[in-house]
Structure 1
């Protein structure tokens, strides 16, 4: 058998194995989901028929729902068991345990178990909290709900535990190779971010409820007991979200303790940066809204009564402490991990993407805020009473955008202005190029459009077109737009020019050779002669050997 034939056979075998894995794991996953759906519906209908007195749950409805659920279980259960058995037959093979399809199945199944656990756990905590704070039993789905949700939550716990034991038994958990490692890190990142979002929303809802109750009592609202039902949902969201964040992060930390390079993994750094951005947005956005509202009040245009004003402020205020806590924790964690594990090439790229993306966001807010502020000043001089809201908008946007852009721009500029290898890497990085040339392009386009409009209006005025005046606020607005765009365009063009002036490492002028002493030259020449003599002796020996081996 030729080598080409063997390679062809190996290629066919590899393709067949991939097809087999795809089929087995896909059918096992789909049948598992069908089992969970059937089990959930069956437990729901049985618990309601047993513990809930409802005329709708009698007769044909119960029989139909029960038959449908049992039929789904009868089909899905053996289908899952057979295909999972087929998958486990090959688990002794290293390639099978490390295959990406197996990892996708295992982490997808773990995610399904988590969904079952968390959704039913959320309902249990919500209704229990309702009752604990005095809500009527009629507002809950108890006791039938407790039986249903408790049973399904227990099933979710069992599934998560079982799939975790399978992952550990595969003997590569935490140090997978190839795409298997990516699948695990992606699962942990997504689960952690989902938990973070749920926890943040639950925490801000709790704060909002507390503030709203205080406002209602201060203004003498008629109903001050409305908060019981929302409190249950908010408390449940907070507990469920915090548990998910803690569980995923604790799992990741255990892996990092065993395998230190995991500490600088790209997806781990992305997870931390996304947490930082989420906290910053939750802090700065409502802060800008509050600043805008306060400026409108100072300018005498804040509409509504005191109660309405307080109602408008409750929502933004509730986000700020939550965002500040998240922002602080994720930022400190990132700094600690960077100091402990350093940066890989990929994680350094993630850091640059984060820095330039945040700088671009701050620049956008600064740009719009400066334009709004100039428009407000122009309107105050040329028009009259329509400048209050643009002024408040402009100041609020500048107050948020200018510090963000200045901090991150100076941070990356300090690195880019260095003459060492790190500075060269920063100047040559694609996130920096994309940011600089992207801003330059936008600035050039804005200048092109606004200056063209200015020249167009000036020419119409010179040609005597009626209704066009050089003192109009529209022309002044366009000039203001051009001025802001020109300043920011110039700043970034200057940065591009400065980057080009630095000599790249390959273009650096070599240092002048240091003259050697006579003794150093003699020693260097003697070493070269000795090396050449050794090579000559080896060549003579090889030549003699060729002469002896010559056939007679």
Structure 2
């Protein structure tokens, strides 16, 4: 190769792509050679090929496995090592000869993709190494807590990957710093670097924040909640197993590595980036103008705000639920314990929110252009306002709907649901009101024309319009359906009320924001639009000069009206805005971060709190009778219904319209009958369980598989009358599990329980036989109803 030759862009891209693949081959090879050596030295079983666990997954041939893994690692090193050395050496020499090649986007892409991947390898495998070591040091002696088999070999294997990846990481960080010292890195090359480094900073910060939140919650539950309101319910665990304190120690040990590694990753990237902002140089200007930096800060501010608002909502709901009548403490939980999650996560994410909110304000103050400063402020204000508006609308619709259910006498909403609606209003309304007040306080023509304000307003109008159409149509459908059937039961009015309230709230949001849009249009239309500024074009001009000030002076003399800004010679972008590559990379990075956060955070926020299963009814009383489903003579079926008892329980299947009836022995009150009923999805059937019968008259429990309600009814087959006793009740959630229905028969008083909660208590003396048989009848068209268990106990 000639000494002064400049490599074409295609050839440079080829060399960097080969180097990119080869360096990862080298990292895997070195890590696995060290791991195999450690496992052989420790005489431990193989833990799989690090980085490629699917290559060798037959662990029954230990000696062959070592040989095959070592052979693959040596082959990767023998091929990847020379390939990386030759390709990167050629590309690096060309970059040292040509400044434009050294500041090119393809070189930055190679360097910072390697830095991003190897940093994550050090981050992940470092956590595993530290976790195994801490577990052996502090948890290994605790009874009942098992360590991972051959933990020392597993730790050595993870440490081998840390050493291998750290070597590649340090080398490429050194090359990146050398490039920045040699020339100005701007344009797309700078965007790629910012995408990698700010992505690492966000990942580290969120890992540390969420891990710290879970740690504080564990400490709160064990130290504070147990001291103030200890659990009185049963505890689970085998004799001689770990105590709750020992389980807490194991949990804390498991959270320390994510916290430490997350903080290290965040500080290791954030602090150098912050130092670069303060430099009064062209490189500092590139850092301050970074679009990726602003997106990273906005992402953290938005996520922190959402977590704080959600945590505050959970806390307020827990308090309101007790004010509505739920006990302060029961067997499984208490108010103090329910406040553990909101307090722990608010303590962590509220400072993050405030810190990065100040960073947003600092970004706005640092901007030399007032328009860009206002855009930064508006983005934050309207995003939080939109989230607060959604919380307020949902909470208001739910609260008013529950109030109507109470007035109609059909309030089957649990107190926890009602408390959540009220909490959404109490938290969301101030959040929306404060930020909307801030926006209105600064209202001028520029604010009215701002795209951030218009995006918020049109999004609110769109959401309100869709809600109005959907819920209005649903209310009208229920009204017309009942009118055509000439039947207006209370349940229909209940549904119409809820749909009407939802439509009214959506319509209010729609009308309010539509009015604001019209007011903005009226002001902006009356004000003449300023004459459009002349278009600005960006060119890359190469000026020979002894130094940068001299070059700037020559340009100013030749083009006095031109704005001279140092630009990246390779990208030709200057201050023209974010490139397509930056936008695409930012979107991909944001999706990866959202997936990462969702994997760890959303299961906790949106799944029910773990707790012991609901208490079983009447387990403390003496059982009188337990059903034996293997007696086919007691079953009768018609139509498309069939009965199957081969699995040890009763399955009533419907392939088309049909009916099945089952009769059981007679019992004399008082007694408690308990049934465990399974409700497979996609089933459509009605179960009628008669607990008291006298001739054609009976008292029965009616359960429809397509709804969440249970009823106690009086039947008179002779006259065809079916009367609902009391009010229909919503069945408490079982998270997909079976429903335990119990009926306490103390003639003339009947009490119905579902999953341990008393839902119905009525008195009716129209069925007064001394002893009557229990019976079940089920009708349906599709699916199945499963009776897992049926028993009768003495009345408690």
Q: Does the pair score TM above 0.5? A: yes
Structure 1 unaligned spans of 5+: 1-12, 419-423, 511-552
TM-score, normalisation: structure 1: 0.80
- Asked if 2 retains the 8 angstrom alpha-carbon contact of 1:282 and 1:319, the reply is yes
- 1:1-12 to structure 2, matched below 5 A, reads none
Aligned equivalents of 1:267, 1:213: Cα separation in 2:
41
Paired residue for 2:293? 268
Paired residue for 1:447? 468
Identify the structure with the greater strand proportion: 2
Query: How far has the Cα of 1:241 moved from its partner?
Result: 0.7
Question: Is structure 2 residue 203 aligned with structure 1 residue 182?
Answer: no
- Asked if 2 retains the 8 angstrom alpha-carbon contact of 1:366 and 1:398, the reply is yes
Question: For residues 195 and 505 of structure 1, do their structure 2 counterparts lie closer, same or farther at Cα, with a shift above 3 Å needed?
Answer: farther
Paired residue for 2:431? 404
- Asked if 1 retains the 8 angstrom alpha-carbon contact of 2:399 and 2:418, the reply is yes
- 1:308-387 to structure 2, matched below 5 A, reads 308-309=333-334, 313-341=339-367, 345=371, 348-387=374-413
**Secondary structure of the equivalent of 1:484?**
helix
- Asked if 1 retains the 8 angstrom alpha-carbon contact of 2:198 and 2:293, the reply is yes
Aligned equivalents of 2:39, 2:411: Cα separation in 1:
64
Query: How far has the Cα of 1:312 moved from its partner?
Result: 5.0
Question: Is structure 2 residue 90 aligned with structure 1 residue 83?
Answer: no
Query: How far has the Cα of 1:492 moved from its partner?
Result: 0.6
Aligned equivalents of 1:489, 1:403: Cα separation in 2:
19
- Asked if 2 retains the 8 angstrom alpha-carbon contact of 1:461 and 1:469, the reply is no
Query: How far has the Cα of 1:46 moved from its partner?
Result: 1.0
- Asked if 2 retains the 8 angstrom alpha-carbon contact of 1:264 and 1:338, the reply is no
Query: How far has the Cα of 1:173 moved from its partner?
Result: 7.8
Question: For residues 295 and 439 of structure 1, do their structure 2 counterparts lie closer, same or farther at Cα, with a shift above 3 Å needed?
Answer: same
Deviations 1:413-445 (A, max 9, x none): 222x22xxxxx3322222222221222233233
Alignment partner of 2:498 out of 462, 477, 485: 477
Paired residue for 2:254? 233
Aligned equivalents of 2:491, 2:410: Cα separation in 1:
18
Paired residue for 1:66? 70
**Secondary structure of the equivalent of 1:305?**
coil
Deviations 1:183-237 (A, max 9, x none): 1221222111100111012211321232233256744964421233332231111
Question: For residues 219 and 346 of structure 1, do their structure 2 counterparts lie closer, same or farther at Cα, with a shift above 3 Å needed?
Answer: same
- Asked if 2 retains the 8 angstrom alpha-carbon contact of 1:175 and 1:181, the reply is no
Paired residue for 1:20? 11
Aligned equivalents of 1:269, 1:509: Cα separation in 2:
29
- Asked if 2 retains the 8 angstrom alpha-carbon contact of 1:460 and 1:468, the reply is no
Aligned equivalents of 1:165, 1:345: Cα separation in 2:
38
Paired residue for 1:139? 147
Aligned length: 491
Aligned equivalents of 2:511, 2:99: Cα separation in 1:
58
- Asked if 1 retains the 8 angstrom alpha-carbon contact of 2:472 and 2:500, the reply is yes
Higher mean Cα deviation, 282-291 or 208-217? 208-217
Aligned equivalents of 2:498, 2:362: Cα separation in 1:
47
The CA RMSD over aligned residues, in Å, is 3.3
Identify the structure with the greater helix proportion: 1
- 1:38-49 to structure 2, matched below 5 A, reads 38-49=29-40
- Asked if 1 retains the 8 angstrom alpha-carbon contact of 2:231 and 2:333, the reply is no
Question: Is structure 2 residue 512 aligned with structure 1 residue 491?
Answer: yes
Paired residue for 2:440? 413
Deviations 1:279-298 (A, max 9, x none): 22222212212222332233
Higher mean Cα deviation, 46-55 or 379-388? 46-55
TM-score, normalisation: structure 2: 0.57
Question: For residues 199 and 65 of structure 1, do their structure 2 counterparts lie closer, same or farther at Cα, with a shift above 3 Å needed?
Answer: same
Deviations 1:292-321 (A, max 9, x none): 233223323469834434655544443221
Question: For residues 303 and 465 of structure 1, do their structure 2 counterparts lie closer, same or farther at Cα, with a shift above 3 Å needed?
Answer: farther
**Secondary structure of the equivalent of 1:300?**
coil
Higher mean Cα deviation, 42-51 or 110-119? 110-119
Aligned equivalents of 1:467, 1:393: Cα separation in 2:
31
Aligned equivalents of 2:127, 2:82: Cα separation in 1:
31
